[in-house]
Amino acid sequence: MLWRCLPERAHPLETAKKRLYDVSAFLPKWLKELNDAQREDGAFPNCAPYMGRIAGENAAWDDTGVIIPYILWKVYGDCRFITDSWPHMERFMEFLVTPGNTHNSENALTYGDWLKIGEETSHRCLVVAFHAYDARLMAEMAEAIGDAPAAARYRERFDSVKAEFHFYCNANATSALRFYTFVAVLAWRHYRF
């Protein structure tokens, strides 16, 4: 039902969308290229179209396969942005729980903190935050397309990963909070975490 696809409340992007060009034609094409380039294991490449370089498995970059359909749905109110990418997003979410992946495992890869040059931001903090964020967005999108079991599964996953994030924050608060990106991630997600 179309009404289920319309945002229930003002989204932070509502103000920004008035200042943006209409990307409703470009980004679906780009998402198709991203989805076409998705690896067998579910990881998205860092760039699309994929030209054989910069393969992927980097937190925040891979996550665009979940974040962009969510943003487009919220801005334009069209569930096709979700349904067209849903199988790819689900494969990506399965990839995130695959042991040993380099997106959010103990050996996670990320481009790190671009706001604090010269200091190392905890990669673990960033990747766990993005995993939780992806799960929350997936729960909302599952509700929008009427998939109640998936919505419940992703809400449960969000709660589980959020608990890991809080554990990490409490255990590393003194050293971790000196990094700007870590503080920004916490502030940005505070109302949801």
Check: CB of residue 83 under 8 Å from CB of residue 145.
Answer: yes
More confident residue, 171 or 138: 138
Q: Report d(CA 158, CA 90) in Å as an integer.
A: 14
79 and 118 fall within a common domain: no
Is 70 exceeded by the pLDDT of residue 78? Answer: yes
- Residue 167 is part of which domain span? 112-193
177 falls within a domain: yes
91 falls within a domain: no
Task: Give the pLDDT band (50/70/90) at residue 47.
Answer: confident
Q: What is the pLDDT of residue 134?
A: 92
Number of domains in the chain: 2
118 falls within a domain: yes
163 falls within a domain: yes
Average pLDDT over residues 68-92: 92
- For the chain, list the strands marked E by DSSP: none
Task: Give the pLDDT band (50/70/90) at residue 70.
Answer: very high
16 falls within a domain: no
pLDDT digit string, tens, across residues 128-145? 888 888 999 999 999 999
Q: Which helix (H) or strand (E) holds 66?
A: helix 64-76
116 and 190 fall within a common domain: yes
Q: What is the DSSP string of 25-44?
A: THHHHHHHHHHHT--TTSPP
122 and 163 fall within a common domain: yes
